[in-house]
Amino acid sequence: MTSNPSVTGAPVGVRPAVRAVPAYPFTPIQVPIKLDQNENPYDFPAELKAKAAERMLAQPWNRYPDLHADTLAARIAKYEDWDADGVVVTPGSNVLIKLLTELAGIEQTVLTVDPTFSVYTLEAKMLGARLVQVPLNEDFSMPVDRLKIELQRQRPGVLYITQPHAPTGHVDDLAAVRELLEAAGEWVVVLDEAYYQYSGTDCRDLVRQYPNALSLRTFSKAWGLAGLRAGYALAGADLATQLQKLVPAFNVSILIQSALEVALENPGYVQERVAEAVAERGRVLAALEDHPTCQAMPSRANFFLLRTPDAEVAYRHLIDHGIVTRRQDRLTGLEGCLRVGIGTPAENDALIEAVRALK
């Protein structure tokens, strides 16, 4: 049989739930200032990169890595003051979100707020979980009472909470998070802490107290290693063991493990950059405070929402000024909003100037 180069029509056998989800809507735009993916504006320090490369060269590339990245997991455990049996490492925490949805969402429920991080809802839809979303309060705080009602009403599954929240940058009181954990019963509760370094918050103590809770953390943001692809879950040993079953064997390459070991041995650079980003966040928000038509919303993360009179016009205007941001205006309650990352001081200067020129 020869293959037909112009196959048309729907491929046979694809589950309708997968077909129904649009391909991930991200189109790279080539402009000098990239504030659209909440990345660290600075690369991994050059001297650490050189060390990592050296360590990569010292590895045997013909051998499989540890089955579950056990050595790396132990290093992360030490860094996080966590039991190594409770650390699960994958190529990015997005992978963990898929696996957690497999663990507790399929044929059960995925509960989250609205708006929320798109990966939670995409995976729920594709994996055939029942998706329930509760609108955020107007001030972007968690709708604790309504979430508690759904925790009672729905068949258990997985609850996704993001602290700081994405894309608003809002942080809730730990008491609110605890109230949900108290109410969660048999639900798995995922506390996605992708940006915790920028908020100075930490849910680890809560995770220690609730065996159904876990914290997701990533090397993609404060560590400045989004290109490497690595994230991890911190959980109790029982929950981690169940989650680990779903992780494909050998899923973190020996090269990535080498680089992450070097990062974990030299974490000082992270603190410096986070301090700069936090100071810059304050500076940018203050500089835009008296804007006649745009509202820069307070945030505890390395990004903030900019509410504009017309998101399409504002987005184009910023691109014309060499700055790419992320449109969020189609999300519930975020009419007119762009999500803007905190860049280097020079990039932020350019942003402030461009936003000020926006009518």
Residue 134 corresponds to which tokens in the numbers above? 């509760």
The whole-angstrom separation of Cα 120 and Cα 356 is 35
Nearer to ligand PLP, 191 or 350 (CB): 191
Interaction of residue 192 with ligand PLP, rule CB under 6 A: yes
> DSSP label at 115?
S
Stretch that binds ligand PLP, among 46-54, 213-221, 266-274, 277-285 (CB under 6 A): 213-221
- Min CB(100)–ligand PLP separation in Å: 12
State which residue has the least CB distance to ligand PLP: 92
User: Which listed residue (44, 82, 117, 210) binds ligand PLP by CB under 6 A?
Assistant: 117
Minimum distance of ligand PLP from residue 332's CB (angstroms): 17
Cross-strand pairs, 296: 306
162 binds ligand PLP (CB under 6 A): yes
The structure tokens listed for 340 are 């803007």
Confirm or reject binding of residue 341 to ligand PLP (CB under 6 A): no
Is residue 121 a contact point for ligand PLP (CB under 6 A)? no
Phi and psi at residue 2, to the nearest 5°: -95, 150
Residues 335, 151, 110, 88: what is their CA dihedral angle, to the nearest 10 degrees? 110
Window 28 to 57, contacts with ligand PLP (CB under 6 A): 38
* Nearer to ligand PLP (CB atom), residue 213 or residue 354: 213
Whole-angstrom Cα distance, residue 308 to residue 294? 5
Q: Is residue 194 a contact point for ligand PLP (CB under 6 A)?
A: yes
Asked if 314 and 307 count as a contact pair (C-beta separation under 8 A), the reply is no
Give the span between the Cα atoms of 70 and 88, in whole angstroms: 9
Residue located via tokens 């939670």: 120
Residue 53: helix, strand or coil by DSSP? helix
Q: Is 92 in the site for ligand PLP (CB under 6 A)?
A: yes
Strands 188-192 and 157-162, how do they pair? parallel
Q: Which is nearer to ligand PLP, 147 or 191 (CB)?
A: 191
Matching residue, tokens 């990015």? 92
Find the shortest distance in angstroms from Cβ 53 to ligand PLP: 22
Asked if 218 is part of the footprint of ligand PLP (rule: CB under 6 A), the reply reads yes
Cβ 231 to ligand PLP shortest distance, Å: 4
Q: Site residues for ligand PLP, window 230-259 (CB under 6 A)? A: 231
Q: Which residues contact 127 (CB under 8 A, 6 or more apart)?
A: 17, 98, 101, 102, 105, 106
Chain residues binding ligand PLP by CB under 6 A are 38, 92-94, 117, 162, 166, 192, 194, 218, 220-221, 226, 231
